[in-house]
Amino acid sequence: MKKPSARSINQDKLTKLRDSGVDSDVLLARLDFIEYEGMRKALVKLSEADRVFPEILPTQASGRWSTKNPNLGGFKREFWKKHWHIIHPDPGEWWLEFDWSGIEARMFTAYTGDEEDVQLFKQGRDIHTFTCAKYLMAWAPDLGVNSPLDSYNLPTDWLNSKDERRTRAKNFRYGVGQYGTSAKAVLGMPGIETLGLDRQMLLQRAQQFLNARPKAQAWKEMIWAQCRTDKEARTFMGRRRKLFGLPDDRAKDGLNHKIQGSVADLMDWCLIAVSKEWPHASLILNKHDGAILAFPKECPVDTTTARVKALVEREWEVGQGIAMNFPAEWETIHG
């Protein structure tokens, strides 16, 4: 990607500034504004016609899809929850929507195979709450994967999935565990200082988190080294990405490709599997980590959903000999 000029206000540049900790309401407002601008443009198209014919291209980086005219994939999840009825099934069909939950973290765990994370996922635990309680805030440093929720010592003002500390823990997991090069990555995380932990404490907690995941650290080192020398990365299904630029940039892009490209592979595989089994089904929308599919009324909702669910959530072995499944949130929509 071409580097923007010093005074660029493009989305990538502003996002980088925000993520580096720049604290400016204008910056944040502009970023929000740009995001909503894309949604506004799509809505203008939707409000002008009783039917839209989006252009779909499964040719973006690492196998991702793009949808334009209008860009229905660009709507935020919260927006869809409130305004899902702006598009609707035709008479004689029903829609099935799935949205993979935390698929990138699961994919990373499937590749790396550290026992704690594998078990957390297999038992359906909220990994971010666990990370927050055991490592980042260390309210319960001796937590095990089987510990019940009341042993997490969560504070009384805990807001579950909306809690700011849980969000920080989620970023901590991605920024330090998944993509970070060392415990020091925690110090560069935006807003981490709001947790009230000092520099030494943060470093110590990040190191504890990494120490508990030796396989992940070894795997990352191996992938980074491969990407630096081989100048290419591949997903477990074999999708390659040629890597350019400086060695560290290649390492970063290569690791991203392993994870994001694998998610894209799964999406493609699922859509192809569904179209083979239900030739009269059709894709409505490919969203970031999910899709909406249309089925004719002749396909019974219960059995079809169960079968599609079995395809979408099936187990895959992507490395380390661990079979991991990828659960999704499901919804059926009737016209």
Partner 1 sequence: MLPKPPECHGCPAYGDGQGWVPDDMKPGAEVCLIAQGPGADEEAGRRYLGHEQWEPHPCVPLIGKTGRVWERGYLPLAGLDRSEVSTGNIIRCRWDHTDKLPPLNQTVVRRAIEHCNRAHFRPPDSIKVFVAMGEYAFMGLTSLQHDFNGWRGYVHPYRPLHAETVPPLPTRVWTPGLVPGDPLPVYVVHHIARIFREPEAELPAKRDWNKLAQLLAGKWPEPMPPIIGEPLDVWPNEFAFDTEFSEEEPDRLVRYSIATRDRRVWVVEAMNAGRGTILPGSRVIMHNAPADLPHLRKFFGLTVEELLALIEIEDTMYAHAVLWTGRVETDDQKGKQGGASSHTLNFLGSIYARINRWKHLARIAPRQYAGADALGTMDAWATGLHGGLSGELARDPQTKWVYENLQKPLVPIVLRAHKRGIATDQKAAQAALKDIKQEQHEFELRAQAYTGWPLNLRSPQQVAFWLYTMEQVKAKRAFGQR
Site for partner 1 in 173-202 (CB under 8 A): 186-188, 192-193, 199, 202
Exposure class string for 162-185: b at 16+ Cβ within 10 A, else e = ebebbebbbbbbbbbbbbbeebeb
- Is the Cβ–Cβ distance between 326 and 266 less than 8 Å? yes
149: contact with partner 1 by CB under 8 A: no
124: contact with partner 1 by CB under 8 A: no
145: contact with partner 1 by CB under 8 A: no
Q: What residues are paired with 287 via a beta bridge? A: 290
Residue closer to partner 1 (CB basis): 247 or 327: 247
Collect all residues with Cβ–Cβ distance below 8 Å to 77 and sequence separation of at least 6. 99
Residue closer to partner 1 (CB basis): 115 or 193: 193
Tokens 């072995």: give the residue. Answer: 317
- Residues numbered 76 to 115 that lie near partner 1 (CB under 8 A) are 79, 82-83, 85-90
Angle at which helices 199-211 and 214-230 pack, to 10 degrees? 90
- Residues numbered 243 to 262 that lie near partner 1 (CB under 8 A) are 244-246, 249, 253, 257, 261
Contacts of 222-227 with C-beta under 8 Å, sequence gap 24+, read: 223/251, 223/254, 223/255, 223/258, 224/181, 224/251, 224/254, 224/255, 225/251, 226/254, 227/251, 227/253, 227/254, 227/255
Q: How far is the CB of 37 from partner 1 (least distance, A)?
A: 7
Residue closer to partner 1 (CB basis): 60 or 229: 60
- Which span sits near partner 1 by CB under 8 A: 19-27, 124-132, 172-180, 210-218? 19-27
- Which span sits near partner 1 by CB under 8 A: 208-216, 270-278, 300-308, 311-319? 270-278
Residue closer to partner 1 (CB basis): 21 or 144: 21
Residue closer to partner 1 (CB basis): 34 or 212: 34
Handedness of CA 156, 157, 160, 164 (dihedral sign): negative
Q: How far is the CB of 175 from partner 1 (least distance, A)?
A: 12
Residue closer to partner 1 (CB basis): 174 or 269: 269
Residue closer to partner 1 (CB basis): 61 or 145: 61
Query: Which residue in the set 161, 225, 242, 315 belongs to the binding site for partner 1 (CB under 8 A)?
Result: 242
Per DSSP bridges, beta strands 328-334 and 282-287 are: unpaired
CB atoms < 10 A from the CB of 142, how many?
A: 8
- Which span sits near partner 1 by CB under 8 A: 42-50, 106-114, 154-162, 295-303? 42-50
Per DSSP bridges, beta strands 66-68 and 282-287 are: unpaired
40: contact with partner 1 by CB under 8 A: yes
| Secondary structure letter of residue 134 according to DSSP | I
